[in-house]
Structure formats: structure tokens, C-alpha cells
Structure 1
């Protein structure tokens, strides 16, 4: 079956997000003063073939941890749907 993985990568909570801080400061300069925080990250859409959803999920976990994230600073979550 063909699946679409939507992968969201963000900094771990203990890591300062410098781009997020710059965006927050810019929003405050534009008078959007109610913004309390901004987290910036990466987004991937990957189509893959697998026997079933469980196998697709394991593939996504494997290639995400091996290639798409920095284990020291980033974390991820993903959604998986049939394509």
C-alpha cells in the first residue's frame, strides 16, 4: 500500500529556538504583543510503500531518526495516512 507520512520536526523543549525568538520579536514590533512564544521547525511529506500501517510507521521512525533529525536538539512526531 502507498502511505503519506507528514513529519513535524521541532527543537526539544530544553533547546533555545533562535529563529522562533526572532519571529516573536518581529511580531511584537508589529504590535502583536499577545504572542507569548514561537516555535519554528521543519516539515516533511514523504510517500512510501509498505505492507500495512504498522510497517509504514516503523519505516518512518527508522528513517526519521537516522536522517531527518538531530538527536541532540530535535524531536519529532508524524501523521500517517493512506495515499
Structure 2
């Protein structure tokens, strides 16, 4: 089973990488980009076959390692 985790900074948290991308896009002539939020995607290959148990395990991974839950939010999708 595969799991895909999307991690993003929470709203209101300064995103300096996103701001750098927004600025660079403007410098390259791409106008009208008013904001950029940058995140990360983590793909996991799991041996677990029970979807409920797999999601529970991945959420535990996010809480303990994959996301800084103080400033980041995450979502989990199983495939």
C-alpha cells in the first residue's frame, strides 16, 4: 500500500521559501502571482494492508517525525 503525505506551513506562518519563489517569478516576468506557499510531499511504501491501520500508522509518523505540527499541517492519502 502507498501513502502520500502533503505537508504545508499553517496559515499565518511566514513562508520565506514561498516568498523567494514569488519574487523570482516576478523577476522572470511572470506577473500577477500575489502569493506562494511552498510545502513538501512524502511518499511512503507500506507493507500494511489494512487501510485504517495504515492511515493510523502514517498519522503517527507525521506527528512524531514527518511534520512539525506546531507550524505545519498535513494530509494523508492512501492508494
The normalised TM-score by structure 1 is 0.88
Q: CA RMSD in A?
A: 1.0
1:28 aligns with 2:26: yes
Q: 4+ residue runs of structure 1 moved beyond 4 angstroms? A: none
Q: Any gaps of 5 or more consecutive residues in structure 2?
A: none
Q: Within 5 Å, give how 1:68-79 maps onto structure 2.
A: 68-79=66-77
Question: 1:61: which partner in 2?
Answer: 59
CA displacement 1:28-54 (0-9 Å, x = unmatched): 111111112111112111111224111
1:18 aligns with 2:21: no
Could you say which structure has the higher strand fraction? 1
The normalised TM-score by structure 2 is 0.92
Aligned length: 79
**Local SS of the residue matching 1:22:** helix
Q: Any gaps of 5 or more consecutive residues in structure 1?
A: none
